[in-house]
Copies of this chain bind each other. A is one copy, B any other.
Amino acid sequence: MKSHVNLALVGFGTIGSGTLQLLKEHRRDVEARVGAKVRMKWICAKEYKYPQLIDKTIRKTKNWQDVINDPDVDCVIELMGGTHPALDVVTAALKAGKHVVTANKAILSKHWNDIFGTAERMRKLVYFEAAVGGGVPVVQALNEGLAGNKIHKIVGILNGTTNFILTQMQETGASFDEALKAAQVAGFAEANPTFDIEGIDAAQKISILASLAAGQWLSPDHVTSEGISRLQSTDSRIIQERFNCTIKLLAIAEKTPRGWILRVHPTLVPNAHPFAHARNEYNAIALHGNAVGEVMLYGKGAGRLPTASAVLSDIIFISRQIANGTAGRVPYVSRRDHQTVEFGSMNDVRCRYYLRITTLDKPGVLSKLTGILGKNKVSLASVHQDTFGNQSAPSSVTVILLTHESREADVQASVKAIDRLSTTKAKTVLLRME
């Protein structure tokens, strides 16, 4: 039994300072759960924006090696973000015999086997509840609570920035650019938002969840990603008004007979579905298990204190095991390295599709369109033709087609053929439905 657990915080931005704040506020609770004193020994950061949180007992450094070289440090909390030097910090910490708590989805998703392999060899723990879903305890639910299931599908709203933007577009009729600006003003989008709006963040998060579900590394390189930056408010409006749906950026991992298929794309969700209620920075995740059916989790996926609370729960459980001398005897993530992972192709995805076609208003055009789809084995659920409020080009007309469940490759081939028609006046908009 250790009477003290020594922590070191590397990275002291929004989440790092939030974590220290919660640790101070909840110290009595935390220490009761841990069964030992929990002490923040080091903070490593380039600058110290929240000096009021840093008392005299905490040592400060700009050099993360100081933390690694201190043999008293039991656990390193990496909250720098990005890949460099975060990956080096985590690897060096494990190799120096320290446990790790991290919220870093980039390094976990891209270096899964390296990180957990090193952890296993060193018999150290890596906890990462805050890396996916912010305050929503989805990592633990998937890794432990639902361990009695084979999870064959995960569907999630995993990115708060895009969900904030989509909520704004939906509720205020704003364009993508306007909604992005609103998100930046509200502090929900970075100055350079590419990582979020192009679906890269969601791809890394679904890679982590799918790797937990599969017990094998499914890297983000296998995720087919489509962001929201090309979404038009026209579609957002039509989908809401005509189809009683809302657009969400969904991250989906599914085990098909041909293997795992991972994808991120804007998706039509019926307003009656609980996902439609996940507004702004909220995340929602549905886990489908063979025994339990569907389990849904919902909560704040971003924000300082929600994310910091997930980091703190990791700190509590890792510290408890450190205090008791059991930490690292059992790896947190189980991996079956020896098995090869099978991947299916995006072409084999089956779902329903929304197609918005801008075409010349000429006789026979509709029959041509439906003919192309029929030839490609895409069957239609409904056809809608009118101006949809677009009076600017009176000679052209908007046709909206909703398909029955169809194969991605067949729909893509149809859209290609439609866009080659001389009567088609703009690139066809394709959105998927869940």
Determine whether the beta carbon of A148 is less than 8 Å from that of B320: no
Write the A20-41 contact mask toward B (1 if CB under 8 angstroms, else 0): 0010001001001101000000
Judge if A240 is at the interface, Cβ distance under 8 Å: no
A289 within 8 A of B: yes
Contacting pair A26 B135 (CB below 8 A): no
- Taken together as a complex, chains A and B put the C-alpha atoms of A296 and B326 apart, in Å, by 31
Is A299's beta carbon under 8 Å from chain B? yes
Between A136, A315, A330, the greatest number of chain B beta carbons within 10 A of the residue's beta carbon is seen for A330
Complex contacts, A136 vs chain B, CB 8 Å: 292, 295
The reply to whether B330 and A320 contact each other, CB–CB distance below 8 Å, is yes
Q: Which of A301-309, A341-349, A404-412, A417-425 contacts B (4 or more CB under 8 A)?
A: A301-309
Cross-chain contact B148 with A315 (CB below 8 angstroms):
yes
Which one of B215, B309, B326, B330 contacts A149 once the chains associate, using CB atoms below 8 Å?
B309
The residue of chain B having its C-beta at the shortest distance from the C-beta of A129 within the complex is B145
Q: Establish whether residues A29 and B150, one from each chain, have CB atoms under 8 Å apart when the complex forms.
A: yes
Q: Is the CB of A296 within 8 A of B293?
A: no
Cβ of A48 within 8 Å of any chain B Cβ, yes or no, is no
Q: Which residues between 220 and 242 of chain A lie within 8 Å of chain B, taking CB atoms?
A: none
Instruction: Collect the chain B residues with CB atoms within 8 Å of residue A277's CB.
Output: 272, 274
Residue pair B33, A147 in contact (C-beta under 8 Å): yes
Contact of A294 with B by CB under 8 A: yes
The residues of B that contact A315 with a CB separation of less than 8 Å are 148
Q: Are B147 and A317 in contact (CB under 8 A)?
A: yes
Q: For the complex formed, measure the closest distance between the CB of A7 and the CB atoms of chain B, giving whole angstroms.
A: 14
The 8 Å CB contact of A293, one of B141, B274, B299, is B299
A316 interface residue (CB < 8 Å to B):
yes
**Is residue A144 contacting chain B, with contact meaning CB distance below 8 A?**
yes
Say yes or no: B137 contacts A313, CB within 8 Å: no
A-B contact pairs, 27 of them (CB 8 A): A26-B150, A32-B334, A35-B330, A137-B141, A137-B145, A140-B144, A141-B141, A144-B317, A145-B310, A146-B313, A147-B316, A148-B309, A148-B314, A149-B309, A274-B277, A291-B306, A291-B309, A293-B299, A294-B299, A295-B298, A295-B300, A296-B299, A297-B297, A297-B298, A320-B330, A324-B329, A326-B326
Please list the 10 inter-chain residue pairs (A to B) with the smallest Cβ-Cβ separation, ordered nearest first: A137-B145, A148-B312, A135-B292, A291-B309, A295-B299, A148-B309, A148-B313, A326-B326, A296-B298, A291-B305
A-B contacts besides A139-B145, A144-B317, A292-B309, 13 pairs, CB < 8 Å: A29-B215, A33-B147, A135-B146, A135-B289, A137-B140, A137-B141, A137-B144, A146-B313, A148-B316, A293-B306, A295-B297, A295-B298, A296-B296
Residues of A participating in the B interface, judged by any CB pair closer than 8 Å: 22, 26, 29, 32-33, 35, 129, 135-137, 139-141, 144-150, 215, 272, 274, 277, 289, 291-300, 305-306, 308-317, 320-321, 324-326, 329-330, 334, 336
